[in-house]
Amino acid sequence: MKIAAIQMVSGTRIEDNLQVAHQLLGQAAAQGAELAVLPEYFCIMGRKDTDKLQFQETPGQGLIQDFLGRSARELGLWIVGGTLPMATADAGRARNSSLAYAPSGECVARYDKIHLFRFAQGREDYDERRVLEPGTQPVRFELASRDGHVYTVGMSICYDLRFPELYRALKADLLLVPSAFTYTTGQAHWEVLLRARAIENQAYVLAAAQGGTHENGRHTWGHSMVVDPWGQVLAERAEEAGVVMAEILAANLQGVRERLPALTHCVL
């Protein structure tokens, strides 16, 4: 099955971001992708953390969800919409949510980011708790590829990558990591963490990232990539918008798990 990580450098206007996302999704579909994943905050990278709050949506209603469902139907793709702000009971805090759509246009899964990013170093100061409410539940869904194989797909978002227990709980064949890693943390830890999650879970990892300098001045690391169950990077894009394509093989997944049956051991 061919899969695609969509890398973007999202700006402050939702309409412009959706237009770019659609173009890139179209490129992925034209290259034979069955699944395409957009990055975290693909729809909006505001000038302030609170900007996202004015674009909160409720389940099944909203411009961004309509775009994702329509694009999935039009392109015949499984699409995971990186993240978008979903409303909570507190108008001052949203959930950072990743939504998965089948080629029918139906939303089949929603994951709310559990681990909220905090980092302070010099002029960099991030704390997602100021405007976000954390999720509570791991989420996975089943994806039937065109060749008839059914993959278990585990969902996660960005900072979750630092918490291996989440990924082990997912028991997935393919792990998704839509992200907007900062340049500082990405340069230090991005690739090693992605490869570690692939190796320890003997799973494919698809990481779709923001990658460049944004209108709001934020510099994201990029390096969207696909990693195989042995920890090998199959495809990667350093910076700027584009499509990262790779093919995943059920036989390779099974072979790694049979040769090195680490997943059969009891967790202490």
Rounded distance between C-alpha atoms, residue 126 and residue 36, angstroms:
28
Active-site residue, from 40, 57, 128, 133: 40
List of residues 6+ apart from 84 with CB closer than 8 A: 42, 43, 44, 55, 57, 62, 64, 65, 97, 99
Of 214, 205, 206, nearest to 241 by C-alpha is 214
113 tagged catalytic: yes
Residues 126, 117 contacting (CB under 8 angstroms): yes
Q: Could you tell me the sign of the dihedral formed by the alpha carbons of 54, 61, 75, 252, in that order?
A: positive
Rounded distance between C-alpha atoms, residue 77 and residue 29, angstroms:
7
48 tagged catalytic: no
Check residue 169 and give left, alpha or beta (phi > 0: left; psi -120 to 50: alpha): alpha
Active-site residue, from 43, 52, 107, 113: 113
40 tagged catalytic: yes
Active-site residue, from 34, 57, 158, 239: 158
Pairing of strands 35-37, 78-86: parallel
Residues with a catalytic annotation lie at: 40, 113, 158
